[in-house]
Amino acid sequence: MITRDPHTFGGRPKCRSPWTSLLGEPAWRSFLLGVLLACGAGCNTPALRPLQRTYKVVDPTIVVQGPQVRELGVGTEYGVVFLGRSAQSGEVDVTAWYGDGPSIEAALVESLGGGVYLASTEIRVPSVVLDFGKLEPGTEVLIRGRRGSDVWTCEGKVRAHPDVEGLLLTAGEGFVDSEDQIGAGVYLRGPNGQEDEGLRLVGLLSGALEIDEGGAPRRYLTAVGAQDLWRLTAWHRDLSHKRRWVYREDIL
Is 17 a residue whose pLDDT tops 50? no
- Rounded Cα distance between 199 and 129, Å, is 7
> Which one has a higher pLDDT value, 103 or 237?
103
Which of 160, 181, 158 lies closest to 171 in space, CA to CA? 158
Is 29 a residue whose pLDDT tops 60? no
- 3-state class (DSSP) for residue 233: helix
Domains in the chain: ranges and CATH: 55-128+232-240 (2.40.10.10), 130-230 (2.40.10)
Is 43 a residue whose pLDDT tops 50? no
- Rounded Cα distance between 205 and 23, Å, is 62
Which of 69, 79, 66 lies closest to 112 in space, CA to CA? 79
Nearest-5° angle of CA 197, CA 202, CA 208?
Answer: 120
What are the pLDDT digits (tens) for 150-174? 999 999 999 999 989 899 999 999 9
- Rounded Cα distance between 48 and 97, Å, is 21
- Rounded Cα distance between 210 and 218, Å, is 5
Residue 212 backbone dihedrals phi, psi, to 5 degrees: -75, 120
- Rounded Cα distance between 216 and 233, Å, is 41
Determine contact, residues 72/62, Cβ cutoff 8 Å.
yes
What are the pLDDT digits (tens) for 65-116? 999 999 999 999 999 999 999 999 999 999 999 888 899 999 999 999 999 9
The whole-number average pLDDT for the span 50-63 is: 61
Q: Which of 19-23, 189-193, 233-237 has the lowest mean pLDDT?
A: 19-23
**Residue 117: other Cβ atoms inside 10 A:** 26
pLDDT value of position 26: 54
Is 23 a residue whose pLDDT tops 90? no
- Rounded Cα distance between 24 and 246, Å, is 34
Separation in Å, CA 205 to CA 7, 127, 140, 166, 224 = 43, 17, 15, 12, 6
Q: What is the pTM of this model?
A: 0.71
